[in-house]
């Protein structure tokens, strides 16, 4: 078979697998208001992961002490999602680790390092796909500027679904981007539901539909279809390039409320938004599906902080914000509010270096404020 034929054959297989994925997409939503026992999986990750997670777990144990004692919440430690174990097993998420993760309802996860080069997929991309965590939800707020943004990033499709499965021919490489009707409809619905439930009046769709006509064109069209069911919410379209500029334009940026977008644009623009808020160390994120959900900081494992001996100075506020989102997701809103209020009142400043407080000092202050 010629190389061109081989490439066409692998493309055909990819398309078949994607059609199968669409068939398997629907799942029943878990109702946490009636669930007798909620199991929270705790995964450390790499680099600064174990440092910020150890503080986040202390805070969680304090917040949920009564429920843990009563057995309505179980905290389950899951070992083995480390770069060393993943490389040794040559699996982005080793099978035994994934099995343990699947026994939980929700996960609190530290950042995981993605090996450079090679073929190994990122642990996050694998988890999002395996657990079908289709909505990446990232809030960014700067109250003094009246900024209150909520990003709904599609989390399982776009350039990521086949990110490590592009094809190469001599002198040429091709990657793939996939957008499905069902995948877009569910992220759009999640964004509009959030807007409706939280009194928001505007949802902005962000794509590059002028260039990516098939995939982003579909994304935009389906978001508008879904919007028709939410007549009280206004909807507008933006291209990612100008939206990136809008977020740093003080004249208009506080007018945006909820933004919904395909995977890659969401990945990039939410880091920009987090930086405007005060840095990637300050933003939490939720990866939500119908059956499972995973909560984490938006930043990575910060290997340079570890190399420079600054790991203990990592800012835990990102993972603590994610923890508050987890508590809200499992319908422990009062407990989430306690943590959110403590995060707002906390005067301890972590700068990520020896000029600021340590991760542990920040968490101690939070525990005192709870
Ligand atoms: P990074 O987010 O780890 O670091 C970017 C910058 O932010 C660095 O200067 C770092 O020191 C700083 N920083 C990050 N977290 C901080 C914190 N809590 N407190 C203070 N400063 C903090 O990004 P990177 O260096 O591009 O990625 C490192 C590794 O993490 C890569 O292997 C990447 O693939 C992985 N990663 C994982 C996730 C995840 O697991 N969710 C997300 C992003 C990146």
- Tens of pLDDT, residue by residue over 39-79, are 999 999 999 999 999 999 999 999 999 999 999 999 999 99
Q: What is the C-alpha separation between 318 and 101, in angstroms, rounded?
A: 22
Question: 178 phi and psi, to 5 degrees?
Answer: -125, 130
- Tens of pLDDT, residue by residue over 295-332, are 999 899 999 999 999 999 999 999 999 999 999 999 99
Structure pTM?
Answer: 0.89
What's the confidence (pLDDT) of residue 278? 87
Mean pLDDT score, 77-85: 96
- Tokens 């997670």 sit on residue: 53
What's the confidence (pLDDT) of residue 116? 82
* Domain ranges (residues) in the chain: 3-137+153-175+263-369
Q: Is 49 in the pocket of ligand 1 (CB under 6 A)?
A: no
Q: Is 124 in the pocket of ligand 1 (CB under 6 A)?
A: yes
Q: Does 86 have pLDDT greater than 90? A: yes
- Tens of pLDDT, residue by residue over 89-113, are 999 999 999 999 999 999 999 999 9
Higher-confidence position of 55 and 165: 55
Centroid of ligand 1 to alpha carbon of 148 (angstroms): 24
Query: pLDDT grade, residue 197 (50/70/90)?
Result: very high
Nearest protein Cα to ligand 1, atom 30: 300
Centroid of ligand 1 to alpha carbon of 305 (angstroms): 9
Q: What is the C-alpha separation between 192 and 198, in angstroms, rounded?
A: 10
Is the separation of the CB atoms in 125 and 275 below 8 Å? no
What's the confidence (pLDDT) of residue 262? 98
What's the confidence (pLDDT) of residue 309? 97
Helices vs. strands in the chain: H and E counts, helices first:
14, 12
Q: Which two tokens stand for residue 58?
A: 């202390």
What's the confidence (pLDDT) of residue 231? 98
Nearest protein Cα to ligand 1, atom 25: 302
Q: Does 164 have pLDDT greater than 90? A: no
- Tens of pLDDT, residue by residue over 12-30, are 999 999 999 998 887 788 9
Q: Is 303 in the pocket of ligand 1 (CB under 6 A)?
A: yes
Distances (CA, A) of 30 to 185, 283, 290: 19, 26, 7
Is the separation of the CB atoms in 144 and 138 below 8 Å? no
The mean pLDDT value of the chain amounts to 94
**Pairing verdict, β 135-142 and 234-239:** unpaired
Domain 3-137+153-175+263-369 fold is Isopropylmalate Dehydrogenase (3.40.718)
Q: Which of 349, 145, 341, 339 is nearest to 252 (CA)?
A: 145
């Amino acid at each position: 078979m010629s190389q061109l034929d081989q490439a066409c054959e692998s493309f055909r297989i990819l398309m078949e697998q994607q059609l199968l994925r669409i068939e398997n997409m629907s799942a029943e939503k878990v109702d946490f208001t009636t669930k007798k026992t909620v199991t929270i999986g705790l995964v450390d990750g790499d680099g600064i992961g174990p440092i910020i997670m150890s503080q986040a777990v202390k805070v969680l144990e304090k917040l949920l002490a009564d429920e843990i004692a009563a057995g309505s919440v179980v905290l389950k430690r899951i070992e083995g999602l480390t770069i060393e174990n993943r490389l040794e097993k040559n699996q982005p998420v080793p099978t035994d680790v994934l099995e343990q993760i699947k026994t939980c309802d929700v996960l609190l996860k530290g950042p995981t390092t993605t090996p450079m080069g090679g073929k190994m997929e990122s642990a996050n991309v694998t988890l999002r796909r395996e657990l079908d965590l289709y909505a990446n939800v990232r809030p960014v707020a700067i109250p003094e500027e009246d900024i209150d943004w909520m990003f709904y990033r599609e989390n399982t499709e776009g350039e990521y679904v086949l990110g490590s499965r592009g094809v190469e021919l001599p002198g040429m490489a091709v990657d793939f981007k996939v957008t499905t009707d069902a995948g877009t409809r569910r992220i759009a619905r999640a964004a509009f539901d959030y807007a409706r439930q939280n009194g928001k009046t505007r949802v902005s769709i962000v794509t590059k539909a002028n260039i990516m006509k098939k995939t982003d064109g579909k994304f935009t069209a389906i978001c508008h279809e879904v919007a028709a069911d939410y007549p009280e919410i206004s909807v507008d379209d933006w291209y990612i390039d100008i939206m990136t500029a809008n977020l740093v334009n003080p004249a208009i940026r506080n007018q945006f409320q909820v933004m919904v977008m395909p995977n890659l644009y969401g990945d990039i623009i939410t880091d920009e938004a987090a930086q405007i808020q005060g840095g990637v160390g300050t933003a939490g994120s939720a990866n939500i599906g119908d059956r499972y959900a995973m909560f984490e900081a938006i930043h990575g494992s910060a290997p340079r902080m570890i190399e420079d001996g600054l790991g203990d100075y990592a800012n835990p506020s990102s993972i603590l914000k994610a923890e508050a989102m987890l508590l809200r997701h499992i319908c422990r809103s009062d407990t989430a509010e306690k943590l959110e209020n403590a995060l707002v009142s906390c005067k301890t400043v972590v700068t990520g270096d020896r000029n600021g407080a340590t991760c542990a000092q920040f968490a101690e202050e939070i525990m005192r404020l709870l």
